[in-house]
């Protein structure tokens, strides 16, 4: 595992990797929920807002661990 933090650089602005992972995680969770809505699979969840939050956290952790490690 890489132990040195790897910042994202856009122009001269440095962004922390966790911020990018969090943004991508939220976008991925939102896209998943749109698909679940589209195919009417959302009806199998008792309380969708909590599921959206949980998915955002799971995606962020996965992206942060494997795709954009700090």
Partner 1 sequence: MILSRRFKEAVKTALAITIAIGIALSMDWDKPEWAGFTVAFISLATVGQSLNQGAMRLLGTLLGALAALSIIALFAQERWLYMLALSVFAAFCIYMKGGTRHQYFWQISGVACVIIAVEAGFDPVNAFETAVQRTEETSLGVLVYSLVSVLLWPSSTGSEFTAVVAKLVSTQQKLFEASMRGMVGQGGAEESDPLRAQAIQQHARFSQLLEGAVTESYEIWEQRHQWRAYRTQVAEFAQALEGWRDSFSELRGLDLGLLLPNLVDFDTELQGRLTEIAGMHQGQAPTRQPQVVDLTVDTAAIRDLSHFHQAALTVTRSRLQQLEQVTRAIFDSVSEIRGFGRGSAKVLRPTSRTGFSLPDPDRIAPAIRVLATLWLAYLAYIYVPDIPGGTGFVIFSGSVGMALATVPQAGVSLLFVPAAASVLFAGGLYIFVMPQLSSYTSLGLLIFALTFAICYLFAAPRQVVGRALGLAMFFAIAGITNEQSYSFLAVADTALMFPLVLFVVAVTAYIPISTRPRVVFLRLLARFFRSAEHLLSTLRWDPDHRPGRMDALRKAFYTRELTTLPHKLESWVGALDTDTLGGTTPQQVQGLVTSLQALSYRMQGLLEARSHHQADFLVQELLADIRDWRVLAQDACKRLSEDPASGTREGFRAKLDDVLKHLEERIEDTFDQAGSEQLSAQDGEHFYRLLGAYRGVSEAMVAYAGSTDTINWDRWRESRF
Residues of this chain that interact with partner 1 (CB under 8 A) are 13, 19, 33-34, 36-37, 40, 42-53
- The least CB distance from residue 69 to partner 1, in Å, is 20
Rounded least distance, CB 63 to partner 1, Å? 17
Structure-token pair, residue 62: 């996965």
Q: Which is nearer to partner 1, 51 or 62 (CB)?
A: 51
User: Would you say 53 or 67 has its CB closer to partner 1?
Assistant: 53
How far apart (Å, rounded) are the C-alpha atoms in residues 25 and 61? 8
In angstroms, rounded to a whole number, what is the distance separating the alpha carbons of residues 12 and 19? 17
Structure tokens at 5: 């933090």
């Amino acid at each position: 595992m890489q132990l040195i933090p790897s910042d994202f650089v856009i122009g001269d602005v440095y962004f922390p990797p966790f911020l990018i992972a969090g943004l991508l995680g939220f976008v991925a969770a939102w896209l998943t929920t749109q698909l679940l809505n589209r195919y009417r699979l959302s009806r199998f969840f008792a309380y969708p807002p909590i599921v959206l939050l949980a998915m955002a956290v799971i995606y962020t952790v996965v992206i942060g661990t494997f795709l954009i490690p700090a």
